[in-house]
């Protein structure tokens, strides 16, 4: 009987902990108490990114799942976000032009409330990647709620199948990730 007890104990020790058990070990009282959302589980690294369907810059309906790429940066922004503009100019534009031909694509979701200002920012700054907009602003957006966005910029890197690889990488971290990921392809 002892070998069976030892085997059972070994199986329990090697088995992955449930989310609730992991939360209890980490001291996350809300999750341990069962307070969590389905959205939180959807946005974990390794999970599939939720679908987004919005009107594009070309006034047609664009779906996130339509985009074919080796690596996709899903970026949430607004034209009046200074941090977004600096990141786009200093990091994203050079990165996009350098790796576009290797299958790097950007799907930018704007939470602007002023369509003219959004269009002006895109044209003036020559943002040539995919642009869609949810003109309800962050507070009025079902997409912002689905992606748990409280502020911009926010981004997710997705693989060719739409699975989340990383969240909120900026500057050199973003450059390194894109370079290493695409060179490994």
Lay out the sheet containing 130-133: strands in order across. Answer: 61-63, 53-56, 130-133, 104-110, 71-77, 154-159, 164-167
Q: Would you call the peptide bond into 153 cis, given omega within 30 degrees of 0 as the criterion?
A: yes
- For the whole model, what pTM was predicted? 0.78
Residues 1 and 69 in one domain: no
Question: Mind listing the pLDDT tens digit for each residue in 5-30?
Answer: 333 233 333 333 333 333 322 333 33
- State yes or no: pLDDT of 149 exceeds 70: yes
What residue has token string 């070309």?
Answer: 58
Q: Looking at residue 40, what is its pLDDT?
A: 53
- State yes or no: pLDDT of 49 exceeds 90: yes
Residues 161 and 137 in one domain: yes
Residues 87 and 6 in one domain: no
Residues 19 and 45 in one domain: no
158 vs 36, more confident: 158
Residues 27 and 116 in one domain: no
- State yes or no: pLDDT of 37 exceeds 80: no
- Exposure string for 145-178, b = 16+ CB within 10 A, e = fewer: ebbebeebbbbbbbbeebebbbeebeeeebbebb
CB neighbourhood size of 185 (10 A): 10
- State yes or no: pLDDT of 119 exceeds 60: yes
Mean pLDDT computed over every residue of the chain = 82
- State yes or no: pLDDT of 63 exceeds 50: yes
Q: What total number of domains does the chain contain? A: 2
What CATH code is carried by the domain that includes residue 151?
Answer: 3.40.30.10
Residues 90 and 177 in one domain: yes
Print the domain residue range for 4: 1-36
Residues 100 and 112 in one domain: yes
Q: Looking at residue 30, what is its pLDDT?
A: 31
Residues 63 and 29 in one domain: no
- State yes or no: pLDDT of 162 exceeds 50: yes
* Cα 74 from Cα 158, distance rounded (Å): 7
Residues 32 and 67 in one domain: no
**Contact yes or no for 66/145 (Cβ under 8 A):** no
């Amino acid at each position: 009987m002892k070998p069976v007890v030892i085997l059972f104990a070994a199986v329990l020790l090697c088995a992955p902990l449930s989310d609730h058990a992991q939360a209890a070990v980490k001291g996350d009282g809300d999750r341990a108490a069962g307070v969590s959302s389905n959205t939180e589980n959807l946005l974990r690294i390794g999970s599939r990114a939720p679908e987004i369907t919005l009107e594009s810059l070309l006034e047609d309906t664009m779906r996130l799942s339509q985009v074919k790429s080796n690596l996709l940066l899903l970026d949430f922004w607004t034209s009046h976000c200074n941090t977004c503009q600096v990141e786009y100019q200093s990091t994203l534009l050079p990165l996009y032009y350098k790796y576009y031909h290797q299958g790097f694509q950007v799907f930018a979701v704007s939470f602007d409330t002023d369509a003219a200002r959004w269009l002006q920012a895109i044209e003036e700054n020559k943002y040539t990647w995919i642009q869609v907009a949810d003109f309800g602003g962050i507070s009025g957006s079902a997409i912002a709620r689905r992606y748990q966005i409280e502020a911009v910029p926010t981004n997710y890197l997705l693989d060719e199948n739409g699975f989340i690889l990383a969240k909120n990488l900026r500057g050199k971290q973003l450059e390194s990730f894109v370079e290493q990921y695409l060179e490994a392809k």
